[in-house]
Amino acid sequence: MFTSKCLILRRLPTSCRRHRFTPALGRAAGSTFVLGIETSCDDTGAAVLDETGVILGECLHSQKQVHLRTGGIVPTVAQQLHRENIARVVREAVERSGVTPGRLSAVATTVKPGLALSLGVGLQFSLDFVKCHGKPFIPIHHMEAHALTVRMLQPVAFPFLVLLISGGHALLALARGVDDFLLLGRTLDEAPGDTMDKVARRLSIVKHPKCSTLSGGQAIELLAKQGQRRKFPFTTPMGQYYDCNFSFAGLRNQVTMAIKKQEHEEGIQPGTLLSCVNDIAAATQHTVASHLARRTHRAVLFCKAKGLLPLSRPTLVVSGGVASNQYIREALTVITEATGLHLLCPPAKFCTDNGVMVAWNGIERLREGKGILPHDVDVSYEPKAPLGVDITAEVKEAAIKVPSVKLRIDD
């Protein structure tokens, strides 16, 4: 158990989960146990896994409702909430796992990329923990953890293509190993989740009776189901560039101008719900989905042309918070069916930030002996850390033209 100089485990009432996730029959708890800690943005997460991917104990504290009231994530607020909750979250995850700190094989913690103030809380807590208990420390790259989560759920061999989309990232990469990634494309400005959140705020969707407790992206998806996206023909200004990079800031500017025009026509002030809010939500979501699908299509064709994907059953993994959007998944399904790829998306609860994905990445690294550090090592967090080896220039030079594919969601 935790010593008096560290943390004292005690039973607390909580809604945190304890369950065994068994992706394959016959799995049982093993002898390798990793504690994963996640604080890269606005969720404080911790989980204990064994080497087979069984989730022995998990706890997650979400800050969503706090940031909804402030209209966006405030780094200093996120930092304070992490500080207030991280000890409890870790204690609950460890207590529920039935694995004492002395039996842990290692502690894995997100150290890059993310909000500096948030990363710092998780890293400092983890370094104190491993020094106190003499455990190895495994620094985790947040995007690598998202990319590899699917391997906890089912067998997925390297190499495979991965699209990571969230409120902070949009990345296309080829995963060739646990710590071996080729970066094919990235966002040049803002992430798709960030764009949809900003559009939702500008539309004051939080005032909609069905959306008061939803994030911006969730609200956009919900209202879009009742909207006519063709009423607002938004575009993304990337069609003339034959690469796999993303750009969403131009779309957001178009939406903002459309909202201002509609407010003028309806004679209402900003902050009031427009009568066409569903249509704008539908058009925004559709444009984001189309842009993601077409850049992903080019990435598939590039990888095939360069022989980077296996000939038998190549796979596209889509993860990150935005990956839970069903409309976007449908758009990507059209592309994978047209190109012969197998599309895999982790369940929604594993697409968002959580301690499970961090612990699993620690398991993968521990298994291969990669990136394992002694408990007394000095580690720094890296808010802007890139993913893998950047070959975006090579992708652009290939200038692959994407054939027109009619999305079923266009109908």
Share of the chain above pLDDT 70, in %: 90
pLDDT at 10 over 60: no
For 283, phi and psi rounded to 5 degrees? -70, -40
Q: What is the pLDDT averaged over residues 79-95? A: 97
Q: 357 versus 67: which is more confidently predicted?
A: 357
pLDDT of residue 286: 96
Distance from CA of residue 272 to its chain's centroid? 31
Q: Tell me the per-residue pLDDT of 308-355, one tens digit each, with 9 for 90 and over.
A: 999 988 999 999 889 999 999 999 999 999 999 999 999 988 988 899
Mean of per-residue pLDDT scores for the chain: 90
List the one residue out of 263, 294, 292 whose CA is nearest residue 280: 263
Compute the distance between CA of residue 62 and CA of residue 26 in angstroms, rounded to an integer.
Answer: 33
Token reading at 382: 């890296």
Token reading at 18: 């304890």
For the chain, domain boundaries: 33-149+352-368, 160-345+389-410
For 279, phi and psi rounded to 5 degrees? -70, -40
How is domain 33-149+352-368 classified at the CATH fold level?
Nucleotidyltransferase; domain 5 (3.30.420)
CB atoms within 10 A of CB 362: 30
**DSSP code of 323?**
G
pLDDT of residue 69: 75
CA distances (Å), 223 to each of 167, 210, 234, in order? Answer: 19, 9, 17
Q: Tell me the per-residue pLDDT of 175-226, one tens digit each, with 9 for 90 and over.
A: 999 999 999 999 999 999 999 999 999 999 989 999 988 889 999 999 999 9
List the one residue out of 318, 325, 75, 295 whose CA is nearest residue 195: 325
Q: What is the pLDDT averaged over residues 217-242? A: 90
pLDDT at 2 over 90: no
| CATH class of the 160-345+389-410 domain in this structure | alpha beta
CB atoms within 10 A of CB 401: 8
Distance from CA of residue 202 to its chain's centroid? 23
Phi-psi region of 96 (alpha: psi -120 to 50; beta: other; left: phi over 0): alpha
Quickly state the pLDDT bin for 143 (edges 50, 70, 90): very high
Q: What is the pLDDT averaged over residues 57-77? A: 84
Same fold across 33-149+352-368 and 160-345+389-410: yes
Share of the chain above pLDDT 90, in %: 80
